[in-house]
Amino acid sequence: MDTKEILKKVRKIEIKTRRLSDHIFSGEYHSSFKGRGMTFSEVRQYQFGDDVRAIDWNVTARYNEPFVKVFEEERELTMVLMVDISGSEFFGTTEQFKRETITEISATLAFSAIQNNDKVGLLLFSDEIELFIPPKKGKTHVLRIIRELIEFHPKSKKTNITQALRYLSNVMKKKAIVFILSDFVDNNYDNALKIVGRKHDVTGIRVYDRYEEKLPAIGMVSILDAETSKTTLVNTSSKKVRTNYVAQYLKNVDYFENTFRKSGSGIINTRIDESYVKKLLGYFKRKGAK
């Protein structure tokens, strides 16, 4: 893909996702995530009902009447988008691949963050750390993130969520809002997620295709494993084969949901032919109401 084509795609995604973040998500995002703490704002005269622990004794002594310190929530936050770019993300049986949906969701979240004057960082992973862009503010920075999401070519096709979580723990020392975008076709990441969840506000966004839920009965089919490049001949007419396929899919989904719940993290499931807008908006509203 040449530079002109890349810039065209970046612009197209910017127009679509920025409109969503400006008009739909900015307020919901703002109310869903709390700042890092309270920061000093001003002093004012003591009023009946004020907490006596907030009295500023130096100012009180100077004016010979009680004054209290006023604090406000420090709103500036840091968002990190952890994006799975392994081989299985290049799958889709509708208008686009899972990776393209993940790119759109990532862009929407990033624009929502900069609307709130927050920093945004990007971590691309397969079974290794493919790219890390440290959190920064501004539209130019977000457009760079979108460009990397579109054009980056991973070295590996495999997935290792544990390694990505451990890397995040090492590079992000302060609390961040972390969105992990993947199909979560992986396991044994529960301990790593538990550690990350203690420090950061984590949400897993599972993006999947309808044919990953259920195998259609269309006879003998060659199925390519996008992460190992192995091809297997499968008899989709066999009820047993289809039943085992569904069982394995549900096992992965159950592991993802149970692992995230146990770590205190949020969960969003969205199919690529569904509206991720409704899923995100509903999630933000529920989170903001807590």
Instruction: Write the DSSP assignment of 8-75 as a string of letters.
Output: HHHHHHHHHHHHHIIIIIHHHHHHHS--SEEEEEEEEE--TT--GGGB-HHHHHHHTS-EEEEEEEE-
pTM score: 0.80
Q: At residue 144, what is the residue type?
A: R
Q: For residue range 207-253, what is the model confidence (pLDDT) as tens digits? A: 999 888 888 888 888 876 767 778 888 888 888 988 888 899 999 99
- Residue 104 and residue 26 in one domain: yes
CA atoms in the 13 A half-sphere facing the CB of 113: 30
Same-domain status, 62 and 140: no
Q: 200 with 160, same domain?
A: yes
CA 83, chain centre distance (Å)? 8
Residue 41, pLDDT score = 60
Domain that holds residue 54: 37-74
CATH code for the domain of 191: 3.40.50.410
Answer yes or no: do 210 and 172 share one domain.
yes
Both 242 and 105 in a single domain? yes
User: In the 8-state DSSP scheme, what is residue 82?
Assistant: E
Q: Are the C-beta atoms of residues 161 and 186 closer than 8 Å to each other?
A: yes
> Does residue 260 sit in the same domain as residue 207?
yes
163 secondary structure, DSSP code:
H
The rounded distance, in Å, linking the Cα atoms of 159 and 36 is: 32
Instruction: For residue 130, give the H/E element and its range.
Output: strand 129-136
Q: Which residues contact 183 (CB under 8 A, 6 or more apart)?
A: 84, 88, 89, 98, 206, 207, 208, 212
Same-domain pairing of 14 and 44? no
Q: Are residues 182 and 126 in the same domain?
A: yes
Identify the pLDDT of residue 278: 87
Q: Which pLDDT score, from 0 to 100, does residue 122 have?
A: 98
Return per-residue pLDDT of the chain as tens, 290 residues: 556 676 677 777 777 777 777 766 666 766 677 554 555 567 888 888 788 888 889 988 988 999 888 765 555 789 999 999 998 776 655 667 889 999 999 999 998 888 888 899 999 999 999 999 999 999 899 999 999 998 999 999 999 999 999 999 999 988 899 999 999 999 999 999 999 999 999 999 999 998 888 888 888 888 767 677 788 888 888 889 888 888 999 999 999 999 999 999 999 999 999 888 889 888 888 887 76
> Final residue of a domain: which of 21, 49, 74?
74
Contact 181, 81 (CB under 8 A): yes
Which domain-ending residue is among 47, 74, 101?
A: 74
| Together in a domain, 102 and 161 | yes
| Beta-carbon contacts of residue 290 (< 8 Å; ≥ 6 apart) | none
Looking at residue 172, its amino acid is: M
Do 173 and 120 belong to one domain? Answer: yes
Q: What is the pLDDT of residue 284?
A: 86
Query: How far lies 4's CA from each of 10, 72, 107, in Å?
Result: 10, 46, 20
Among 74, 101, 125, the domain boundary falls at 74
Q: Are residues 57 and 85 in the same domain?
A: no
Give the chain's domain count. 2
Answer yes or no: do 82 and 218 share one domain.
yes
